[in-house]
Structure formats: C-alpha cells, structure tokens
C-alpha cells in the first residue's frame, strides 16, 4: 500500500495507524478499497450488490482489533458505502473505524457511511469512530454516518463516536435495538467551530428484559457553529436507560439539546441529564494561577472535556 503524506497523516489522525497494520484490515481511499486483509477470526468480504463490505467475526473469536478507516483526498468526491459488521456468538473484538477528509478545493467532499452492526448472543464489541476534516479551500467536508445496531441477548457494545475537528456539515443518525440482558454504551464527543453545523439523532430502543442503554454526549461549540442533539430512549420492558448531554458553548455558537424519554412499560427506569454552559470563570482563573495563559487554560479545559 503506497500512501502520500496527506493520506498517511489522515490515517494517523483518525485511526492511529502508521504503516500497514497486522491482522484484519480494510482501508478505503477515495472511493475504493486499497488494502483488505482477513484474519483467521475476522473475515472481510466485499458486498456484491453495492459498495462496501461485510465484516464477520467468527463465534468465540476474542481479543482482535480490526481497522477499517476511510479517507478522502480527491475534491468533489461523494462517497457512499454500506458496511455490515456481524459479531459471532461469544466473540469479543475491537473495531477502529474513522473517516478523514482532506479538501483544499472549492468543491465539496462527502462521505456517507451506512453501518449496520449485528451482535449475536453474548458477544462483545468496542467500536471507535473518529471523524476529521482538513484543508483550506472553500469546499465543504461533509460526513453523514447512519448507524444501525442490533444487540442480541447478553451481548454488549461500547461505541465511541468522535468528531475531532474540521467537519463542516454532519448529520448523524443512530438507531439501536437492545435485547434482553444486552448492554449499550454510546459515547459521542463532538467539536464544531467556524460556521460548521452538526446534528446528531439517536434512537435507542431497549426491547428486552434487563437490557440497559446509556447515551453520553459531550460537545463543544465554538465561534458561529451550530449543534443539534436529539437522543431518545425508548424503554419497552423491565430495563434501565440513561441519557446525558453536556455541552460547552463559546463565541456566537448555538446548541440545541433535546433528550427524550419514552416508557412503554411500567417497569422501565429511564433518566436524563442535560447541561449547556460556558467555561466557568473560576476554572480559567484556577488554571491561570498554575501558570497557564488564558488561551492555554481554555484549550486545556476543552481538551479534557472532550477526552
């Protein structure tokens, strides 16, 4: 796999990848797969009817990490991809995804990833997805991920979805169904700046008895950017769910935060917390009294908040 400097940097930023990773991997650059390997426990095969792949983890396969990053460096490209992740019974793996866009042109670059996760009984998955955009042109960097998750009995998934910086427009739609004794923890961290716009819509259905779901969102909106966050928890049995959205607002930005709880069963226990506020003056003063400048204090607070 030959990469230029821009491509290597993007891969390093979104997936912490340097050189060719060991084991199963799928790297997609500018709309086509450039590297694809399977491993004994994880098979990656292309879809036959549309762009994308099926990643299948064999039952009982444990401890592997697979990287599936996407990068876009060609301006004006609109990339659409359908990926399915099927995690076999009792398997336990980590998937590192992510999308990086470099666009220095006046044309928009867009990647729409449609991801489906099927977790078979008692499987366990950690999924990390980082989104990042760079380049000084007027062309927008657009990322619209759609994520569907099905968690079977006793399975669990921890999803960490992060938008680091530089994404001009994003609409993230996530739908989750949780079976009995299934557990989902979804962590979303998002930073917007300039005149960026970000929208995240989460619907988490806790269908099964003793299922549990958690949505934790932390975001920072700077300058003139706008964010809308909607998270609905729908409790349909004897289950527990919690939504937490916490935002730092700066400059002339706008944040709309809408946690929603829907109980369709009297045994469901659902809670939510939401907070939007600017950085407290006391926090800045405290860090400045330890020798940081005001700007360093702001950066430190934001970095910690989004970590």
Partner 1 sequence: MLKLNDISMVVGNDQGENREIIRGINFEFEAGKVYGITGPNGGGKTSLAKLIMGIYMPSQGRIYLQDKDITPLSISERAQLGIIYAFQQPPRFKGLTVKDLINIARPGIDNLHLRMTLRDVGLCPEDYLDRDVGPGLSGGEMKRIEMAQTLAREAVVSIMDEPEAGVDLWTIQKLIAVIVGRYKKNPRLTTIIITHNENMLHICDEVLVMESGMLVHRGTPEEIWPHIKDEIECKMKEQCSGDVAYEIR
> In the stretch 167-206, what mask flags binding to partner 1 with x, by CB under 8 A?
----------------------------------------
Please work out the total of residues on this chain that contact partner 1, with binding judged by CB under 8 A: 22
Residue with tokens 């939504």: 243
DSSP state letter for 11:
H
| Distance set, CA 203 to CA 18, 147, 148, 232, 299 (Å) | 35, 10, 10, 5, 32
Footprint on residues 241-300 left by partner 1 (CB under 8 A): 246, 280, 282-283, 285-294, 300
How many other CB atoms are found less than 10 A from the CB of residue 88? 20
Give the whole-angstrom CA distance, residue 141 versus residue 154: 38
Give the whole-angstrom CA distance, residue 172 versus residue 81: 15
Q: Which is nearer to partner 1, 256 or 286 (CB)?
A: 286
Beta carbon of residue 282, minimum distance to partner 1 (angstroms, whole number) = 4
φ/ψ of residue 128, rounded to 5: -120, 130
Q: Which is nearer to partner 1, 18 or 282 (CB)?
A: 282
Q: Which is nearer to partner 1, 48 or 289 (CB)?
A: 289
With CA atoms as reference, report the closest residue to 283 among 300, 258, 267: 300
Q: Which two tokens stand for residue 233?
A: 């928890």
Beta carbon of residue 186, minimum distance to partner 1 (angstroms, whole number) = 18
Beta carbon of residue 306, minimum distance to partner 1 (angstroms, whole number) = 7
Q: Which is nearer to partner 1, 81 or 220 (CB)?
A: 220
Residue 119 CA from chain centroid, whole number: 17
Q: Which of 141, 197, 218, 242 touches partner 1 by CB under 8 A?
A: 218
Give the whole-angstrom CA distance, residue 120 versus residue 92: 11
Q: Which is nearer to partner 1, 220 or 239 (CB)?
A: 220
Helix (H, G, I), strand (E, B) or coil at 70: strand
Q: Which is nearer to partner 1, 82 or 305 (CB)?
A: 305
Beta carbon of residue 307, minimum distance to partner 1 (angstroms, whole number) = 5
Beta carbon of residue 176, minimum distance to partner 1 (angstroms, whole number) = 25
Q: Which two tokens stand for residue 65?
A: 């990490």
Helix (H, G, I), strand (E, B) or coil at 10: helix
**301 scored as a contact of partner 1 (CB under 8 A):** yes
Q: Which is nearer to partner 1, 32 or 289 (CB)?
A: 289
Give the whole-angstrom CA distance, residue 70 versus residue 53: 12
Query: Residues in the site for partner 1, rule: CB under 8 A?
Result: 218, 246, 280, 282-283, 285-294, 300-301, 303-307
């Amino acid at each position: 796999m030959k990469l230029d400097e821009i491509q290597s940097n993007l891969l390093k930023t979104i997936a912490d990848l340097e050189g060719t990773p060991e084991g199963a991997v799928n790297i997609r650059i500018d709309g086509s797969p450039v590297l694809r390997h399977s491993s004994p426990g994880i098979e990656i095969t292309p879809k036959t009817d549309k762009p994308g792949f099926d990643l299948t983890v064999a039952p009982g396969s444990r401890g592997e990490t697979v990287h599936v990053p996407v990068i876009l460096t060609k301006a004006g490209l609109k990339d659409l991809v359908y990926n399915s992740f099927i995690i076999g019974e009792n398997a336990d793996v980590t998937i590192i995804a992510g999308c990086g866009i470099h666009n220095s042109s006046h044309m928009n670059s867009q990647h729409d990833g449609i991801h489906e996760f099927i977790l078979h009984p008692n499987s366990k998955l950690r999924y990390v997805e980082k989104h990042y955009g760079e380049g000084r042109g007027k062309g927008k960097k657009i990322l619209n991920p759609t994520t569907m998750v099905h968690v079977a009995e006793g399975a669990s998934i921890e999803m960490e979805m992060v938008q680091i910086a530089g994404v001009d427009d994003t609409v993230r739609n996530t739908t989750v169904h949780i079976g009995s004794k299934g557990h989902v923890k979804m962590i979303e961290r998002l930073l917007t700046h300039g005149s960026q716009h970000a929208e995240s819509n989460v619907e988490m259905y806790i269908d099964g008895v003793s299922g549990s779901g958690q949505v934790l969102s932390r975001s920072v909106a700077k300058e003139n950017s706008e964010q809308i966050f909607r998270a609905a928890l729908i409790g349909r049995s004897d289950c527990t769910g919690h939504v937490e959205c916490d935002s730092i607002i700066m400059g002339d930005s706008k944040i709309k935060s809408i946690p929603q709880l829907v109980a369709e069963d009297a045994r469901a226990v659902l809670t939510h917390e939401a907070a939007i506020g600017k950085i407290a003056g006391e926090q800045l003063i405290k860090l400045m009294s330890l020798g940081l400048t005001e700007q360093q204090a702001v950066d430190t607070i934001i970095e910690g908040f989004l970590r």
